[in-house]
Chains A and B, each alone.
Chain A
Amino acid sequence: MTRRETSAELFERFRSNLTIRTLLKAIQREIKPLNRSLRIMEVCGTHTMTLHRSGLKPLLRETGVEMVSGPGCPVCITPDFYHEAIIDLVTSRRNIVVATFGDMTRVPTRKGSLQTTVPAAGSEIKIVYSPEEAQELARNRPDSEVIFFGAGFETTIPAIAFTVRQAASEGLKNFSLLGALWLIPPAIEAILQSGEVTIDGFIYPGHVSAIIGQQAYEFVAEKYGLPGAIAGFEPADILLGLLSVVRQIRQGQPTVANEYRRVVTFNGNQKARQLMAEMFEPFEATWRGLGPIKNSGLRLKKEWQSFEAREKFRLRFEAGRPHPAGCRCGEVLKGLIDPVECPLFARSCHPDHPLGPCMVSYEGACLIEYKYSSGAKRK
């Protein structure tokens, strides 16, 4: 067998109808004796995407599992005031290059979006695919100040840490970071502590877990008595995770199952975790919808402050006022409402004219819902 056949065969099995039917049936068998339906939160936006795209959501509902989307979209949970601060800078100062991921440029704020804003003379907004690409811009444009405006979870943070350290060792002085860097476990804990939403268990993110490892979620089982499973991104991966969660509920033994062992280990990626700890320190960050959460964000440590755009350009963050459009993204991110329950969904808010980040980002629950189910039908 050639190597290509091996990988193709592998992934075909994770998507095949037979596997999906088999797993749904197994879940059904486990759920039956419970005599009730379950509400399970998928924390990660890429899982939300798989669930919709593969048509699993309604099938699971029939089986007795209601999937609730969580806060796992970094673009969505980054509050407006990050964007507003960087918009203020790029419109008022010359020779500023804001380098950011594509969907970040489309987030609407009271001051427009990075896409609609008109930069000052010599300044511009550039879309990049990686922090290293932003760094390359800084190398090539010594007369400009390049700011990487990056939103991300533990999956992306090590790459950003590496890039800043690299900039420091090169002595690259015209490069800095406006990081919107979020940590998943504190957000899960905040959702549990708020007690606003009833959840029977969690599907934990696959690639965040590749970095932080299975160990990171133990508090959910130990302190809150809730089951959970780490899952990969193929339809069968999610079902395998759910099978484990339902089984944990039936047996009354909540734990952290790792159903993505081909990629995730108990301790995660040690090298990446070390690098994060070397460059960043946790602080009480404010999430859209969830508000301030202790130790839930990362910022550069004191010794790297010359790369901190907030300090370097004295960016002013004006937290507080809600977005005037009446966007309910915050409640979507907490699992309190489904996108369709937002009165603006598919009416004044749609992908061509998003009113909130949840309709902008590819991982945003509103965009995903629009693309794969109700929104598309209404069109």
Chain B
Amino acid sequence: MCLAVPGKIISIEPNGTGKVDYMGTTVVANLSLLPEAKVGDWVIVHAGFAISRLDRQEARRTLRLFKQLEKLNSSD
């Protein structure tokens, strides 16, 4: 099953794994599929592997879209 929530990389070990923090709970994830990952990145982890980085700018863009739709609705 897909864990929807991203975690934050708090450290990267020489063996290619990283510690990923989920609001205080730490898991170890294999970072081999995400060679560009760095400490501070938010990542999606699946079956023990980080598979994608969260693009925070895109997330904010979506939030702005929600705001626009709200305005559109209230002007109905």
A residues whose Cβ falls under 8 Å from a Cβ of B: 3-4, 6-7, 10-11, 13, 18-19, 22-23, 25-26, 29, 44-46, 49-50, 129-133, 152, 155-156, 158-160, 162, 205-207, 210-211, 232-234, 236, 240, 259, 261-264, 269, 271-272, 275, 362-363
Contacts and interface: CB of A to CB of B under 8 A. Distances in A.
A263 B3 CA distance: 13
A64 to B, nearest CB: 17
A261 B47 contact: no
B52 A263 contact: yes
Contact of A132 (B30, B56, B59): B30
A263 B52 CA distance: 6
A229 B4 CA distance: 17
A22 B47 contact: no
A233 B52 CA distance: 14
Contacts of A271: 32-35
A155 B35 contact: no
- Determine the interface band of chain B, counting residues with CB < 8 A from chain A: 35 or more
A262 B59 contact: yes
Nearest to A158: B33
Contacts of B58: 261-262
A26 B23 contact: no
> Which 4 pairs show the lowest CB-CB distances between chains A and B?
A130-B48, A233-B4, A210-B52, A262-B58
Interface of B: 1-2, 4-6, 8, 23, 30, 32-35, 42, 44, 46-49, 51-56, 58-59, 61-63, 65-66, 69-70, 72-73, 76
Nearest to B72: A26
Contacts, number: 114
Given A13-B63, A162-B30, A261-B61, A207 B48 contact: no
Nearest to A49: B1
7 contacts: A22-B70, A207-B2, A207-B52, A210-B44, A259-B62, A269-B51, A275-B33
A129 B45 CA distance: 12
A107 to B, nearest CB: 15
A45 B63 CA distance: 25
A46 B30 contact: no
A162 B32 contact: yes
Given A22-B69, A44-B2, A262 B51 contact: no
